[in-house]
Structure 1
Amino acid sequence: MGLISEVLLLPLAPVRGAGWAIRQVLSEAERIYYDPATIRAELARLEEQLEAGEISEEEFDRQEDDLLDRLEIATRTSAGLGNGTPP
């Protein structure tokens, strides 16, 4: 960009900075959400809850399906992209 456009767009700098920060937070949240180690830990915790009687078999099945779907997406995208984040 030229000098004039930089001066004219200067009042928008905080908005651009906030947008960058939001994108960084979202990227990190997705990385954690689709991290296979995190998903496996959640599966183990879910099984412990079932064994302790804290959740029903139906609730376990529903949550397990969700976690296995996330794990499948994480595995598929990490094989294709190399970074474990969804497209």
Structure 2
Amino acid sequence: MGLVKELLLLPFAPVRGSAWVIEQVVQEAERIYYDPASIRAELARLEELLEAGEIDEEEFDQAEDELLDRLEIALRKDAGHGNGMHT
């Protein structure tokens, strides 16, 4: 029965392969998006923009809140996987 099933599903192999690739891309994008080092670098860059007068306090506060939320989620994810950062 396994051979028949595989033969019947063969036309869908490209779709299954594409789904796997998409899943891998999403996982990598999330890893980068929630990387604490990247978030901290973005926070530092945001502060530089504020000090240079390129953004105002309101823009800074909004962007900082978003970044801090991401950092909190990232640290919770790391703690949940036993990879908690010690700072």
Name the Cα RMSD after superposition: 1.5
Check if 1:42 corresponds to 2:42: yes
Q: Distance in 2 between matches of 1:23 and 1:41?
A: 27
Name the aligned partner's letter for residue 58 of structure 1. E
Take 1:82 and 1:57, find their aligned partners in 2: how far apart are those partners? Answer: 36
Which residue does 2:72 correspond to in 1?
72
Q: Which residue of 1 aligns with 2:52?
A: 52
What is the CA–CA distance in structure 2 between the aligned matches of 1:82 and 1:5, rounded to whole Å? 40
SS at match of 1:82: coil
Q: Which has the higher contact order (CA 8 A, sep 6+)?
A: 1
Structure 1 ranges of 4+ moved more than 2 A: none
Pair 1:63 & 2:63 matched: yes
Deviation at 1:83, TM superposition (A): 5.8
Deviations 1:27-71 (A, max 9, x none): 000000000000000000100100110001000000001000110
Normalising by structure 2, we get a TM-score of: 0.91
5+ residue gaps, structure 2: none
- 1:10-49 matched pairs, under 5 angstroms: 10-49=10-49
TM-score by length of 1: 0.91
Identity in percent: 76
